[in-house]
Structure 1
Amino acid sequence: MAGTGRMMAVPAERLTDRVSIGVLVSLVPVSLLDEVIRVSGCADRRRRALPARLVIYYVLALCLLADHNYDQVMRILLDGLSWRSRGSRAWERAPSASAISRARARVGSDPLRVLFERMAGPLAEPGAPVARYRGLRLLSLDGTALDVPESEENSAFGYPGDAARFPQVRVFAVAEEGSHALVDATFGSSAVAERVLAGRLLRCLRPGTLLAAPAGAWSPDLVRRAARTGTDLLLELPGPPGSSAGDVLADGTRLCEIAGVPFRVVPTLARGALATTLTDPVRAPAAELAARYAGRWTFDDALTWMRPGWHGRGTVLRSRNPDMVVQEIWALLCVYQAMRALTCQAGPSRWCACRWAEFAAGESPTKRLSQ
């Protein structure tokens, strides 16, 4: 299979694969794709064997059916679409690999980026306790590195070290706790610093939220910028706080300032210390904060949840040129969000709400985040 760096047995086509295509079309309806195609300006100007709508479904299916090769994915997609539409249209043969490549290049990555922007956002109901802490919506920021197939074009992404075998792309996201839905995401080459990527995600922060972030994802400048958004912070400390110790509180925590922002340092057995802008120990007990941080959403776990055996340090992408890598990453994020929505739909009705019609109507993630 392309992108794995070694030969693998191709699994046989299964009925469940066709069902998966049906579920994908239900979660990402045609009306939503038509809106995305219109907004991104990639509408077909003439009748094509591989229209933009089908190409977008195909790129999504590549991520959903990661253990199948390109030709198999197209056959399963076409069969699944025919099966779901009760045979109203049938394809005598699947398009060639070269035709698929040309169609992907023609559509580009913008429609997948716009699709993710439409789908991204919290899924938990405003009152769901698993997504809230003391009235604040819980968010986590985390990142991972995805290997991409080695090629002359993909070398532009850079290698994370001299001994690295594959070029890498760094991906960062903010996710809602409880539902684990993605609120926002961004990515760049391995040369882009983690804090630069984390800084792009400050755009999704709003008052009434509590953001948990690992030590490598923030800097004093990011602390100041994040504090100005009105969100509260729960940060892992890479070392001692940036200024002299302040008052020691009754629960053993102490007050300090980091980058001019008032913080409270919470010692933990597992990680040394956390720092939070929730400075009142009555409102936010130290043990609760430590437990919340220990159980936060992480990107590598999210990829493993999507596809058992995947992880953020292995080759999980297929595309052999940068434009298609970007397209594939946006598709991967879309598929992850769709699967989270499916999980929410299967859960208790009072726990999550999946309003896909609102995505098609263009409602912004930040509007839903403020609810």
Structure 2
Amino acid sequence: MPDQCGTMTLTQTLTTACGAFAPGHLGALTRFIPFELVDDILDRPGRRGRTRTVPGRVAVYFVLALALFADASYGRVWDTLCAALRQAGRLVAAVTEAGLADARRRLGPDPLRELFEVAAGPLGRPCARGVSYRGLRTVAFDGCRSTRVPETGDNVAWLGRYKVAAGVAAYPLLAVMALAETGTRALLGAVVGPYRGEVEAASQLMGHLRQDMLVLADRGFDANAFIRAVHASRAALLLRICSSRRPAVLRIPADGSFLSVIAGVPVRVITATVTVTCADGSTHRGEYRLATTLTDVRRHPAEDLLALYHERWGATRSRTRLSELPDRRIDLMSTA
């Protein structure tokens, strides 16, 4: 039978928007935030106005770009967005910074909030290294309250005046609390507003937790309300508890940890001593305790959970056993 050969042509069809701002300016952004999604959000009742120099879709991508180029002025960001269009010979309307500010003001916060709620979510594949622990996707709460905003009447009425040791902060402070996937740092949810305390802010994000997740939390979240809320969501918990908490010892497994109950939730408490040796030869020694709802000693060895807890801060580092690190030593402490 004679040899046969042939060719095959594969055609890919791409859907793009029309008009001068078809790419949404930043092609990288339209890969993750398709213009169809932006148009759908802007098509909600009451959001379509007359056509302006900066249409609503363009204003959305402009605000997203402001976050990418936080240190640049409005004009510089606009020039960056339009650079590819100008290189392609397209005419782009000149817009002043005041006009860009008006476009952002007309857009308002609601479309961006809805866009975030659609786009936010875990990104890592469960099989990827550092994304999950024994089938549980690792996530963590984290927040800040140091973002200063202009001292306008509306901002002060909304955020209030934050008291500091020296008196009152010079500017109103905006608090942010986020729930992130530790392996990729992708945000699952976030709340923005006046500072109410980490536990109270995190309580507003409990609806994003699932039973296939493991929450890593530091001792700032050591509160009965937080422990109950995570347990009610059916997610697992690995929490560093404060030294002032003294849970009762109910049973001591062979690994030196002990079983107890905190806030009505069955937990396992692991106590460890950490010794860190610095490059100059000095050593630092400290003790901390972890409480976890993963009570199966064989499936979840104490040493593995101790190593896992540190991924709350080293989210992108590949998982390694702490006993293999040359500059750190972990000693499990028996409570017997």
Where does residue 285 of structure 1 map in the other structure? 301
- Quote how far apart the aligned CAs of 1:45 are: 2.5
Q: 1:50 to 1:42 in 2, by over 3 A?
A: farther
Greater C-alpha radius of gyration:
2
- Output the TM-score relative to the length of structure 2: 0.75
Q: Deviations over 1:277-332 (max 9, x none)?
A: 0011111111111111112158xx99xxxxxxxxxxxxxxxxxxxxxxxxxxxxxx
Higher strand share: 2
- Quote how far apart the aligned CAs of 1:36 are: 2.4
Q: Could you list the runs of 5+ residues in structure 1 that have no partner in the other structure?
A: 1-19, 303-371
Where does residue 238 of structure 1 map in the other structure? 242
Matched ranges for 1:30-179 at <5 A = 30-39=35-44, 41=45, 43-83=47-87, 86-87=88-89, 89-93=90-94, 95-153=95-153, 154-156=155-157, 157=159, 158-161=161-164, 162=167, 164-179=169-184
230-239 or 28-37: bigger deviation:
28-37
Q: Could you list the runs of 5+ residues in structure 2 that have no partner in the other structure?
A: 1-24, 275-286, 317-336
Where does residue 7 of structure 1 map in the other structure? none
Where does residue 368 of structure 1 map in the other structure? none
Q: Is the 8 A contact 2:268 2:292 kept in 1?
A: yes
Letter in 2 for 1:34: D
- Quote how far apart the aligned CAs of 1:90 are: 2.1
Q: Is the 8 A contact 1:251 1:281 kept in 2?
A: yes
Cα distance in 1 for residues equivalent to 2:46 and 2:200: 30
Q: Is the 8 A contact 2:149 2:174 kept in 1?
A: no
Where does residue 188 of structure 1 map in the other structure? 193
- Quote how far apart the aligned CAs of 1:80 are: 3.8
43-52 or 271-280: bigger deviation:
43-52
Matched ranges for 1:193-208 at <5 A = 193-208=197-212
Q: Is the 8 A contact 2:222 2:242 kept in 1?
A: no
Cα distance in 1 for residues equivalent to 2:162 and 2:114: 28
- Quote how far apart the aligned CAs of 1:252 are: 1.1
Where does residue 253 of structure 1 map in the other structure? 257
Q: Deviations over 1:233-279 (max 9, x none)?
A: 01110234454222122111111111010011111334611100001
SS of 2:271 mapped into structure 1: strand
Cα distance in 1 for residues equivalent to 2:191 and 2:67: 18
SS of 2:112 mapped into structure 1: helix
Cα distance in 2 for residues equivalent to 1:200 and 1:261: 20
Cα distance in 2 for residues equivalent to 1:81 and 1:145: 39
- Quote how far apart the aligned CAs of 1:167 are: 2.2
- Quote how far apart the aligned CAs of 1:212 are: 0.7
Q: Is the 8 A contact 2:140 2:312 kept in 1?
A: yes
Q: 1:81 to 1:291 in 2, by over 3 A?
A: farther
- Output the TM-score relative to the length of structure 1: 0.69
Q: Deviations over 1:158-201 (max 9, x none)?
A: 325125333211111111122221111112213x1211111011
Q: Is the 8 A contact 1:175 1:297 kept in 2?
A: no
Cα distance in 2 for residues equivalent to 1:36 and 1:269: 52
Q: 1:97 to 1:240 in 2, by over 3 A?
A: same
SS of 2:66 mapped into structure 1: helix
Cα distance in 1 for residues equivalent to 2:82 and 2:249: 64
Q: Is the 8 A contact 2:85 2:92 kept in 1?
A: no
99-108 or 48-57: bigger deviation:
99-108
Q: 1:37 to 1:160 in 2, by over 3 A?
A: farther
Cα distance in 2 for residues equivalent to 1:112 and 1:22: 18
Higher helix share: 1
114-123 or 96-105: bigger deviation:
96-105
Q: Deviations over 1:120-146 (max 9, x none)?
A: 111111322321111211111111224
**Out of 258, 271, 282, which is 1:267 matched to?**
271
User: What is the RMSD computed on CA atoms of the aligned residues?
Assistant: 2.5
Cα distance in 1 for residues equivalent to 2:145 and 2:262: 28
RCO (CA 8 Å, sep 6+): is it higher in 1 or 2?
1
Cα distance in 2 for residues equivalent to 1:149 and 1:72: 21
Where does residue 27 of structure 2 map in the other structure? 22
